[in-house]
Amino acid sequence: MVSKEREKLGRCFSDVIIEEGSWSEDHNSPSINRFRYNFIKREHNGTHSFMESQLAVGEPIVVSDEQGHFALALGYVTSVRKQRICVAVDRRLHNARVRQPGFNEHDNQVFAGIMEVEPEGSTPDQHQGRVR
């Protein structure tokens, strides 16, 4: 079930983005709550409210891709407001490149990361910001 279908059931939010400047990292916090983010709707229409869902403060969450195929992070809801939902999760969601064993900044720049790749020849409407 994709995110738009799950959102209709009140247990998911689709098409959300990280609010600019909202993330923080708490190095003293346990790993499950280490990274904090505020999510907002990509396109605010004025009628959507994060408070009209079944997700409340303290609820466990999974941050996943829009199709629900990849779990990007696990955590908890920390705050719910009309225009944003705040979460604390176990993994970094932005700039998530991780140096791999043997990394050398001069001659072995090996990273791991998450991205969605679109097929060659797709149109801009089809790839919606994904890497081509």
Better-predicted residue by pLDDT, 3 or 115: 3
Reported as half-sphere exposure (CB side, CA atoms, 13 A), residue 37 has a value of 20
Query: Domain ranges in the chain?
Result: 3-93, 97-132
Topology given in CATH for the domain delimited by 3-93:
Elongation Factor Tu (Ef-tu); domain 3 (2.40.30)
Better-predicted residue by pLDDT, 102 or 124: 102
Q: What is the pLDDT of residues 27-83, one digit of tens each?
A: 887 778 889 999 999 887 778 889 988 899 999 999 987 777 778 899 999 999 999
Better-predicted residue by pLDDT, 122 or 85: 85
Determine what percent of the chain is predicted with pLDDT higher than 90.
26
Contact 48, 41 (CB under 8 A): yes
Contact 59, 41 (CB under 8 A): no
Q: What pLDDT is stored for residue 81 in this prediction?
A: 94
CA distance 58 to 78: 6
CA distance 30 to 23: 16
- Residues in contact with 29: Cβ distance below 8 Å, sequence separation at least 6, in sequence order: 88
